[in-house]
Amino acid sequence: MPTPPTPPFPFPKEYSFPPFFTPQINLATRHAQLTKWSSLILSYCRHHAIYRLSLSDTTTSPSSPAYPLFNNDSINRRLSLSYIKEIIDFMRRDGRAEWVSGSGSGEQQQGDLVWVYWRTPEEWAGLVEKWVEETGNKGQVMTVYELVEGEGSRGSEFWGLDQELMVKAVQVLVKKGKAQTMGGEENLGVKFF
């Protein structure tokens, strides 16, 4: 998606602290570390408008936008894949992350793609609902593509949102009885109430 160049992300000072990249043995320290990592991932993804991470891509490909997140080349430290998965699991318990379905579900066979919910689908749904209310789009039919890429919603917070994530948000609205969908998964249409 066409995003304007974002200013560099201000990393917290833990990021330059080598032990931060090593799983801590002490349970309390470990928990604090997980919390720190979780908030770092969330704010990094928010800053760069990243909605999902490919773990293998971010850990190995330096061209990946999220590569600096788990790799601090300046202190020559990187996060191991298994520890990343532990962090993701930790975030999952908070509802801040989710394995992208289709890329392997279940506890054992964890996939590579992961949703990073710096806004959960419920939160996105709230934003969309507010926008619909404010712009008088109640009772209108819109396509998900239009919501995410259209001219009408340009400038709203969810503009440029991952379409799949938008579909999730729309489904939250459907559950609340605020919207109804039509058409297939690929080009979902939605009517707001």
Partner 1 sequence: MGGNSSKITAQDQAIYDLKLQRDRLHQYQRRITHLTSRETAIARTLLSQNDKPRALLALRRKKYQESLLAKTDQQLEQLEKLVSSVEFALIQKDVVFGLQQGTKVLKEIHAEMGGIDKVEKLMGETAEEIEYQKEVSEMLGGRISVQDEEEVEEELMRLEAEMAPTGQKVVEEGVGRLPDVPDTELPEVNGERQEVKKPVAGERREAIPA
Verify binding: residue 102, partner 1, rule CB under 8 A.
no
Q: Tokens representing 108?
A: 């054992």
CA-based end-to-end distance of the chain: 29
Q: Interacting stretch for partner 1, rule CB under 8 A, among 31-39, 71-79, 136-144, 153-161?
A: 136-144
**Contact yes or no for 116/97 (Cβ under 8 A):** yes
Q: Interacting stretch for partner 1, rule CB under 8 A, among 24-32, 62-70, 105-113, 140-148?
A: 140-148
Shortest CB 65 distance to partner 1, Å: 19
Dihedral in degrees, nearest 10, Cα atoms 146, 150, 154, 159: 50
* Selected binder of partner 1 within 4, 102, 107, 185 (CB under 8 A): 185
Verify binding: residue 137, partner 1, rule CB under 8 A.
no
* Selected binder of partner 1 within 112, 149, 157, 164 (CB under 8 A): 149
* Selected binder of partner 1 within 113, 145, 156, 164 (CB under 8 A): 145
Verify binding: residue 1, partner 1, rule CB under 8 A.
no
* Selected binder of partner 1 within 89, 122, 146, 164 (CB under 8 A): 146
Q: What is the DSSP string of 166-181?
A: HHHHHHHHHHTTSEEE
| Cβ neighbours of 178 (radius 10 Å) | 18
Verify binding: residue 174, partner 1, rule CB under 8 A.
yes
Task: Report the C-alpha gap between 193 and 187 in whole angstroms.
Answer: 20
Residue 102 neighbours by CB under 8 Å, 6+ apart: 111
Shortest CB 187 distance to partner 1, Å: 6
Nearer to partner 1 by Cβ, of 1 and 32: the residue is 1
* Selected binder of partner 1 within 24, 35, 143, 156 (CB under 8 A): 143
Verify binding: residue 89, partner 1, rule CB under 8 A.
no
Residue 182 neighbours by CB under 8 Å, 6+ apart: 141, 188, 189, 190, 191
Instruction: Give the number of residues written for the chain.
Output: 193
Q: Which residues bind partner 1 (CB under 8 A)?
A: 140-143, 145-146, 149-150, 174, 180-185, 187-189, 191, 193
